[in-house]
Structure 1
């Protein structure tokens, strides 16, 4: 009898594994901790499919992997999307068509897309917007005042008496170094010699800003800063800042002028093995219900105006002034990273030298 029961059990498990193996599979390549897993499970159940989540910790890593491997959906940032599109690696998508009739983008996002388009890249031609935000400084409000942040901005990171974090991103870090010297990341009127000189000054500033209390981190801040005050100031993305502040009242966020504003989006590589299922997943994640649940869980600014309004209303999840400030992503003057192969190489080289100094 035991042998019969064992055989039945093994047979049932075999059938289950066979059934799972026969399901359609979707390979999703996305930044770490950047999607509500319960939504993925809901999509799997609704469509009787399996979604395999593969994660990355930087756009630079993602670019190399996308060029070398096959994924059905990828979620890079604007400049990485531009690079992949210019290399002919992406399917063309009408980003607006994945939302229902009457849909509106969150305030300020249309301006972002218009500026990007005017500069020569149509984000919505290749991508469906996912989250967006800005770069700023998350600071210990028990130790650093808003007045000081307004005065120093990113330069507060150079204070050797503070425990600080420089975010481990070549573009973001070098941009901060440039801004500390009154320079912009992109400047059409700058020749190559001047560009190299500006990048050298940015590099030197970052090296001098690094002290015994300075760390170079990325996703680790999501755990290291959730409680207590281990760090005094950190260069941080607005969505990460909103999430941390929702858990830790000791921190506030400041967005310096001329900082980076970014948008991440769903793209479908041309070598995707399941493009129709990929489109269904993107449509599912772009609905009001999924977008709301996702932004509550992750903390980044929704691209949907209705979700944005819900989150920031008087009794919304991000109605508290500290959180609302980060979630609103309002920057009067802002920079957009663009794909520029020569600039990219120079930035990466400069950041490598800073990292090992």
Structure 2
């Protein structure tokens, strides 16, 4: 009898596995810790499909992988989307077919997309917005005088050897900061400007300076180990919601960015990819995802609800990060020559 029962279990399990394997499969390639898996599970259940999540650590890694592998949906940053589009690797999208009902861009995102378009790249031709935000300083507001210093010096406080600081582990963001201190925009940077920024970053490094990226999320949720760090607004919003010791400030002319859903030309399930993007931009999925991750929603109604007085980020300290408002601002464009100068300089900084 036990053998019969065991056989029934084996056969049943095999049938379940076969049934699962016959489901349509969607492969999504996105940054680490950047989606609410309960939202994914709901999409799988509603559509009787399987979703496979593959993560990348940086846009630079993603660029290489997208060129050599097949994914149905990829979520890179604006400048990486521009590079992939320039290389003819992305499908052009009819935006209206991919947006959830009632979708309207959040105001800050709309301003970013308009300025990006005016300067030569139509983001919406290839991508649907996923999250957006800016780069700023997350600082311990309990330190006497630091709030005033951050608002006066901006990113300059990162160079203070007396403070425990973090330089974000990204050539793009690190050099945006170093150039910003000297009132230079990325798009205007000369070789001399890059060299000066390299020296500033080397000088900023010290025994109390760390170079980190995603680890910021785990190291700053409790306590006050660090005094001032370079971080993304969404990470800052999440950290501040868990740790009341920190506040966030985005200096003028900081970098504003947007990540987006794109569909590579070699994707194998483009119709399901469209359904997934439409689902993720619906009100319910966008709300749950933004609530979980902490980044600014591209949907105006979700964005407004999050920063309302009784919203999850309605507290003024949190709202500053989630609202991601800064004027004027800049953004990083796809520029192979500039990128090489930044990467070469960053290698010098890291090894100095």
Q: Determine the structure 2 residue equivalent to 1:217.
A: 212
Contact 1:291 1:302 in 2 (8 A): yes
Post-superposition shift, 1:70? Answer: 0.8
Post-superposition shift, 1:121? Answer: 0.6
Counterpart of 1:23 in 2: which secondary structure?
coil
Contact 2:100 2:283 in 1 (8 A): no
Counterpart of 1:172 in 2: which secondary structure?
helix
Alignment of 1:229-240 (within 5 A): 229-240=224-235
Give, in whole Å, the separation in 1 of the partners of 2:213 and 2:275: 31
Q: Which moved more, 1:136-145 or 1:274-283?
A: 136-145
Post-superposition shift, 1:97? Answer: 3.6
Q: Determine the structure 1 residue equivalent to 2:66.
A: 66
Give, in whole Å, the separation in 2 of the partners of 1:290 and 1:74: 18
Given the alignment of the two structures, is residue 334 of structure 1 paired with residue 351 of structure 2, yes or no?
no
Give, in whole Å, the separation in 1 of the partners of 2:74 and 2:98: 16
CA RMSD of aligned residues (A): 1.1
Contact 2:44 2:50 in 1 (8 A): yes
Given the alignment of the two structures, is residue 283 of structure 1 paired with residue 278 of structure 2, yes or no?
yes
Counterpart of 2:120 in 1: which secondary structure?
coil
Counterpart of 1:346 in 2: which secondary structure?
helix
**CA 1:78–1:355: 2 relative to 1, 3 Å:** same
Which ranges of structure 2 fall in alignment gaps of 5 or more residues?
none
Alignment of 1:179-198 (within 5 A): 179-187=180-188, 195-198=190-193
Q: Determine the structure 1 residue equivalent to 2:290.
A: 295
Number of residues paired by the alignment? 351
Contact 2:313 2:322 in 1 (8 A): yes
Contact 2:103 2:281 in 1 (8 A): no
Give, in whole Å, the separation in 1 of the partners of 2:97 and 2:335: 29
Residue from 306, 309, 322 that aligns with 1:314: 309
Q: Determine the structure 1 residue equivalent to 2:177.
A: 176
Counterpart of 1:84 in 2: which secondary structure?
helix
1:318-337, CA deviations, whole angstroms, 9 ceiling, x for partnerless residues?
A: 00001101111111110111
Given the alignment of the two structures, is residue 351 of structure 1 paired with residue 346 of structure 2, yes or no?
yes
Which ranges of structure 1 fall in alignment gaps of 5 or more residues?
none
Q: Determine the structure 1 residue equivalent to 2:254.
A: 259
Give, in whole Å, the separation in 2 of the partners of 1:19 and 1:239: 39
Q: Determine the structure 2 residue equivalent to 1:18.
A: 18
TM normalised by structure 2 equals 0.98
Post-superposition shift, 1:297? Answer: 0.4
Counterpart of 1:234 in 2: which secondary structure?
strand
Q: Determine the structure 1 residue equivalent to 2:54.
A: 54
